[in-house]
Structure 1
């Protein structure tokens, strides 16, 4: 059974997405591998944790459960990853820590099926997409950060999972977005998205911009080609793919 008041935030980072979900009245299960960001999150959301509105786990998301290495980027915590190649992709050195890990199957078994699943894991998103395709019950809405390496696998797993509507959202534009009038459940009309926010999701996305699988994949490939030509003027930002289950 799907819990319509529950969201999974896989890739909590500084908690800006979780803050939005809590503002909308959802319960949140969030996962963050970086111990310092985890502790900062406990402090920031102390009242929500104590009230049971937020469960924050200091774990990494991986294909299997157990202990895993996690690599923390020297200056950009948002680039930290379970993959050393991702954490050092800009030539910086990364700090290795060992943390417990979990996966989507384990989270659903413990907390139930969420209404919305947000995934932003810097190279480990494909594991979640694979596990999602294996779940009997699936969230109505999901979003994944895409990458040039894993985008086709993520799109494909979403398709075989039964998702029929797709949107591509450029994260670089999120700080300029405003709360839509249809978002009546938002308690703070002045909520402002930060540069680290994933932004709107689900029913708050523009209804006229839902695409088929084929249309969304074609657009993403074109975006990737423009990014390879000029990632400042033509292919700026980075994309999340959102999907819905009809």
Structure 2
């Protein structure tokens, strides 16, 4: 584990990444939305130039191949690769447009960049892919945060059981 590394999955406009960067951490940021990626790349360009930030324009996926990404036209932070989330978002009055983006497994990303000290995941319905990838590594991030997308008690218990399997005992 690299105690100076944070991986921010779902960078969005970069507020969290910028906070970590100002604290002196190196950050690997992952943002699937190409427009937001470009804006964030400009906003945090000075950190990219120094090598403190590496920003990837990919979606975390179950396979290393192109995936459909649904850009939410009303609430950009609700963009997702999950059709279930698209339907949820429509129920709440928002609309999305489908685009194709590069998909990468989180396992592949961890193999390339290493295990971070802290892993922050907020990718609207695909957070579980990051947790599942951690099974393949002996070392785990010391800290992690995810946004649970579970809507049933049993699914939430299964998610908590996965966290416990990974060695996380305090929530």
Same fold (TM over 0.5): yes
TM-score scaled by length of structure 2: 0.91
Contact 1:133 1:158 in 2 (8 A): no
Gaps of 5+ in 1: 167-246
Q: d(CA) in 2 for partners of 1:144 and 1:79? A: 15
Which aligned pairs between 1:123-162 and structure 2 lie closer than 5 A? 123-149=125-151, 151-162=156-167
The answer on 1:94 being equivalent to 2:99 is: no
Runs (5+) with no aligned partner, structure 2: none
> Are 1:7 and 2:6 matched, yes or no?
yes
CA positional deviation for 1:40: 0.4
Bigger radius of gyration, 1 or 2?
1
Distance 2:160 2:130 in 1: 12
> Cα distance, 1:118 vs. partner?
0.5
RMSD: 1.3
1:4 aligned counterpart, secondary structure: strand
Which of 111, 122, 147 in structure 2 is aligned with 1:109?
Answer: 111
- How many pairs are equivalent? 165
Structure 1 segments of 4+ aligned residues over 6 angstroms from their partners: none
User: Contact 1:34–1:58 (CA<8 Å) still a contact in 2?
Assistant: yes
Indicate the structure whose relative CO is greater, using CA pairs within 8 Å and at least 6 residues apart.
2
- Deviation at residue 70 of structure 1 after TM alignment: 0.3
> TM-score w.r.t. structure 1 length?
0.64
